[in-house]
């Protein structure tokens, strides 16, 4: 039994019976021959919904993506045929559940080209970053050392470092963005110093869509011996991610922004960095021995997964990443870039619309404000036309305030969106602007 626990595997290879529902796409089946959004969207049942009597146009993908049938079916199959706790049960369903859970971990590892022993399942990006702050950060950060964060970050990649700095007596330094919402290499280097111990940086901004020159930033931080923590929540469903090529120390992302369920996410850590990190939460599954006086913790990723995990959601994440693999991430990026460019050009035809975030390298997110119209009112009006966007500060106040705004309308695109979705958005915005002008002239 000890070997079973340490290997985190089941007691056999007894597979669950297969449903007659749609099979989960597998990378071994090869990339699909087409990437036509009108074909891809058939895989997503919710896109056939009507809202206020109009077809749903889902443009809130930076907040959460919709789920393909293969993911929904995979979760249903888990609960119908495999539902049990993992790693400890000595029965058939326990073996099935453990195999499904660990197979999902291996799918994640392959999807981001991570080495063995580097994938920790968490609830999402926020928990992943807090895990690093409370383990590696708490152990290694000393008084008067520095943490560097950028103005592009989501609050979840700012607040944990503020808390850690206050606790450890460290200093926070920030990297500003320019008027287009970009980080320059020069401004990044100015923020670094021999005291820099940790750098927190996003791969892609959730509010502006800016894609950072991540590999170059990581290299320059490593030149000073700093550890780099990457928020990959937005990037992972839009661009191919290779954590070994990037040389990231830690890379975090959430499943629900990559066609998977909510409540599941991933922390990738270099095995060396994980080995340098103490346990954080205590409980079952992360201990090899417990007495009333002391406990011995497992090594590797087990140390960071206390308690019963979100098993079905992890299995769903594995199915979602297999689905993305079947689409081909290089083609997903190419198509997303083309649609983003189309959306930027189309939005430019709307009178009084000012784009917020115009980085040369950007994806998916096309935030804007409309002169004289509150962002919340724009969101409500769009919803009346069946168009779902996000409005507000998007947990990215430093980024928005750097560009002189407090709130924006944020349409965000995904692989199932098409030019018709963008056209519907733009037509609705034209009606909103015309209606406001009509009121003002009355």
CA distances from 337 to 62, 261, 331, 340, 366 (A): 15, 25, 10, 5, 12
Residue 329 pLDDT: 97
* Residue range 413-424: mean pLDDT, rounded: 97
* Closest CA relative to residue 305, chosen from 79, 135, 420: 135
How many Cα neighbours within 13 Å face the side chain of 99?
17
* Residue range 300-327: mean pLDDT, rounded: 96
Residue 418 pLDDT: 96
Which of 119-123, 164-168, 228-232, 279-283 is least confident? 279-283
Residue 279 reports pLDDT greater than 80? yes
Residue 23 pLDDT: 36
pLDDT tier at 299, thresholds 50, 70, 90: confident
DSSP per residue, 5-67: HHHT--SS--PPPPPSSPPPP-GGG---S---HHHHGGG-GGGG-EETTEE-EE-BTTT----
Judge contact between 396 and 248, C-beta under 8 A.
no
* Residue range 324-348: mean pLDDT, rounded: 97
End-to-end CA distance of the chain: 79
Judge contact between 196 and 146, C-beta under 8 A.
yes
Residue 359 pLDDT: 98
Residue 14 pLDDT: 41
Judge contact between 255 and 124, C-beta under 8 A.
yes
pLDDT digits (tens, 9 = 90+) for 175-209: 999 999 999 999 999 999 999 999 999 999 999 99
Q: Cα(384)–Cα(144) distance, rounded to whole angstroms?
A: 53
Residue 442 reports pLDDT greater than 70? no
Q: Cα(187)–Cα(192) distance, rounded to whole angstroms?
A: 9
pLDDT digits (tens, 9 = 90+) for 120-145: 999 999 999 999 999 999 999 999 99
pLDDT tier at 32, thresholds 50, 70, 90: low
Residue 7 pLDDT: 40
Q: How many CB atoms lie within 10 A of CB 204?
A: 26
pLDDT tier at 435, thresholds 50, 70, 90: confident
pLDDT tier at 440, thresholds 50, 70, 90: low
**291 burial level (CB within 10 Å; 0-12, 13-18, 19+):** exposed
Instruction: Write out the two tokens for 368.
Output: 């804007």
Active site members: 395
Domains and CATH numbers, the chain: 98-326 (3.40.640.10), 329-435 (3.90.1150.10)
Judge contact between 32 and 327, C-beta under 8 A.
yes
Residue 112 reports pLDDT greater than 70? yes
Residue 1 reports pLDDT greater than 90? no
pLDDT mean across residues, the chain: 92
Residue 438 pLDDT: 67
Whose tokens are 């009355």? That residue is 442
Residue 2 pLDDT: 36
Q: What angle do CA 403, 406, 410 make, to 5 degrees?
A: 85
Element of type H or E holding 258: none
Instruction: Write out the two tokens for 96.
Output: 């099935």
Q: Cα(394)–Cα(62) distance, rounded to whole angstroms?
A: 10
Sheet with 353-355, strands from edge to edge, namely 353-355, 368-370, 408-410, 390-392
More confident residue, 442 or 182: 182
Q: What percent of the chain has pLDDT over 90?
A: 87
């Amino acid at each position: 039994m000890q070997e079973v626990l340490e290997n985190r595997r089941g007691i056999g290879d007894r597979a669950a019976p297969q449903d007659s529902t749609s099979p989960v796409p597998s990378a071994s089946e090869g990339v699909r021959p087409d990437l036509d959004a009108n074909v891809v969207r058939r895989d997503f049942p919710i896109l056939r919904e009507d809202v206020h009597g109009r077809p749903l146009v889902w443009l809130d993908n930076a907040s959460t993506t919709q789920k393909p049938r293969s993911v929904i079916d995979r979760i249903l199959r888990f609960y119908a045929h495999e539902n049990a706790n993992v790693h400890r049960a000595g029965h058939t369903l326990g073996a099935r559940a453990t195999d499904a859970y660990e197979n999902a971990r291996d799918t994640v590892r392959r999807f981001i080209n991570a080495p063995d022993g580097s994938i920790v399942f968490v609830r999402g990006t926020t928990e992943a970053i807090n895990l690093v702050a409370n383990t590696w950060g708490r152990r290694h950060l000393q008084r008067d050392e520095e943490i560097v964060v950028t103005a592009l970050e989501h609050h979840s990649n700012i607040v944990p470092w503020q808390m850690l700095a206050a606790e450890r007596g460290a200093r926070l330094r920030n990297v500003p963005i320019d008027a287009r919402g970009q980080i320059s290499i020069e401004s990044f280097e100015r923020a670094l110093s021999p005291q820099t111990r940790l750098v927190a940086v996003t791969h892609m901004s959730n509010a502006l869509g800016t894609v950072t020159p991540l590999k170059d930033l990581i290299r320059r931080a490593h030149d000073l011996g700093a550890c780099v923590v990457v928020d990959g929540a937005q990037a992972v469903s839009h661009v191919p991610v290779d954590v070994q090529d990037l040389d990231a120390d830690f890379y975090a992302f959430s499943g629900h922004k990559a066609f998977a369920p909510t409540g599941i996410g991933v922390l990738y850590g270099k095995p060396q960095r994980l080995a340098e990190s103490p346990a954080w939460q205590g409980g079952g599954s992360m201990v090899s021995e417990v007495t009333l006086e002391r406990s011995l913790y497992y090594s590797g990723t087990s140390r960071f997964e206390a308690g019963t995990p979100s098993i079905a959601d992890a299995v769903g994440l594995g199915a979602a990443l297999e689905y993305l693999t079947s689409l081909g991430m290089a083609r997903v990026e190419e198509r997303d870039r083309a649609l983003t460019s189309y959306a930027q050009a189309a939005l430019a035809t709307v009178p009084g619309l000012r784009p917020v975030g115009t980085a040369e390298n950007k994806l998916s997110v096309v935030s804007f404000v409309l002169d004289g119209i509150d962002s919340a009112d724009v969101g409500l009006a769009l919803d009346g036309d069946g168009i779902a966007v996000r409005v507000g500060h998007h947990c990215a106040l430093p980024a928005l305030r750097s560009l002189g705004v407090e709130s924006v309308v944020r349409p965000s695109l995904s692989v199932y969106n098409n030019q018709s979705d963008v056209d519907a958005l733009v037509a609705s915005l034209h009606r909103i602007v015309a209606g406001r002008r009509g009121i003002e002239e009355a």
